[in-house]
Amino acid sequence: MWFPFAFGFLFFALLFPWLRATLQILVLTGINIPQRGRIFRFSEELRLWSMTEVVVIAGYVAYYRASISSTVGLQTGALCYIAVAIFTWIGDHALDRRSVWNSILPDTIEYPTRHYASCDVCELAALDRRPGDYCPRCGSRLDRPIWPRYIPAAAAVVAAIPLTIPAYSAAIMINDNLTGVLEHTILGTVQLLADRGYWEVGVVVLVAGVFLPVVELLGLVWLLARVRFPNVRGLVRRTRAYRILHRLVRWPMIIPFIAALAAPIIKFHGIDDIVAGPGATPLFVIIALLMLAIRLFEPKLMWRTAGVPA
Ligand SMILES: [Zn+2]
């Protein structure tokens, strides 16, 4: 039961952010190390999957959720982690990616007079390469075919839909204390938080645990359907919608993280015993599938099937 959390937590909260920070340090300080473009591409790829700020918000909610029955002090390690999350967030918003790419290999300045093979990842137009060659800057494939990723993206969404039933009807946390066994579904947790006066935390759980996954799921179905049933109208709107979905897709992860963080805090006291309920694993899998679908989906496909060159 705990395996998916332990796995997810280890990778999303620790290994990916750590690896990403190491790669970024290599790219941004290393004057001219070989494969600098490739390293920067990998570090950008890890951006979606490293979730320090999600963990911090989850920790904040878990702390309040736990303080209903017990009090836990913030340890130095937690404060260091919060500091890392804040620096990562500032770094991500301050980093000028175009100038990093340009420092690795400058963009082509002349206006293209014919079709150049170009790179999806770093947007380099390579004058002397052919489609399918490696990008001279970041090592990705030039003019990469985007159709092969459509079926896996659709499959991930289809697999996520039936999992919504156990995720929302079963308990996400089971609190086995002296007075009895309390089971909390996601909506039950929202209710509990609101009843105890932590309504602002309840709103966070409601938005991240219920509203966002539903919006992501419906949004992805809509975008995937528009590839099959193209419409020239609304292409820009749908591409913007994709970017918003891409930005928000990781945030529902705070719910499994809350369950994961709340459990050891309360176990420490020995009286209350919280374990992840049967609904926690399907929820974790749904969010991971939605992230995968967002990552695989390519909005260009909507433009291509609508007959608009993009
Ligand atoms: Zn490239």
Mean pLDDT computed over 91-116 = 85
Q: How far is residue 254 CA from its own chain's centroid?
A: 10
Domain that holds residue 27: 3-104+145-305
Ligand 1 centre to CA of 136 (Å) is: 7
Is 50 part of a structural domain of the chain? yes
The C-alpha atoms of residue 219 and residue 125 are separated, in whole angstroms, by 32
SS3 (DSSP) at 181? strand
| Same domain, yes or no: 99 and 245 | yes
Q: What is the pLDDT of residue 271?
A: 43
Is 74 part of a structural domain of the chain? yes
Tell me how many domains the chain contains: 2
SS3 (DSSP) at 48? coil
| Same domain, yes or no: 176 and 277 | yes
Q: Is the pLDDT of residue 47 over 50?
A: yes
| Same domain, yes or no: 175 and 62 | yes
CB atoms within 10 A of CB 32: 7
| Same domain, yes or no: 158 and 124 | no
Ligand 1 centre to CA of 125 (Å) is: 8
Q: What's the DSSP call for residue 116?
A: P
Between 307 and 225, name the one with better pLDDT: 225
Is 269 part of a structural domain of the chain? yes
Is 64 part of a structural domain of the chain? yes
| Same domain, yes or no: 254 and 301 | yes
Output the six-digit token pair for 117.
């093979």
Is 182 part of a structural domain of the chain? yes
pLDDT-derived band at 57 (thresholds 50, 70, 90) equals: confident
Q: Is the pLDDT of residue 174 over 90?
A: no
| Same domain, yes or no: 49 and 184 | yes
pTM of the model as a whole: 0.86
pLDDT tens, residue by residue, 241-284: 999 999 999 999 988 887 777 766 554 444 456 666 778 888 88
Ligand 1 centre to CA of 93 (Å) is: 21
| Same domain, yes or no: 119 and 267 | no
Q: Is the pLDDT of residue 159 over 60?
A: yes
Name residue 24's amino acid: Q
Region of residue 5 (left: phi > 0; alpha: psi -120 to 50; beta: else): alpha
pLDDT tens, residue by residue, 186-199: 888 788 778 877 78
Q: What is the pLDDT of residue 217?
A: 96
| Same domain, yes or no: 40 and 140 | no
Ligand 1 centre to CA of 123 (Å) is: 6
- What is the distance in angstroms between the CA of the first residue and the CA of the last residue of the chain? 45
Q: Is the pLDDT of residue 72 over 60?
A: no
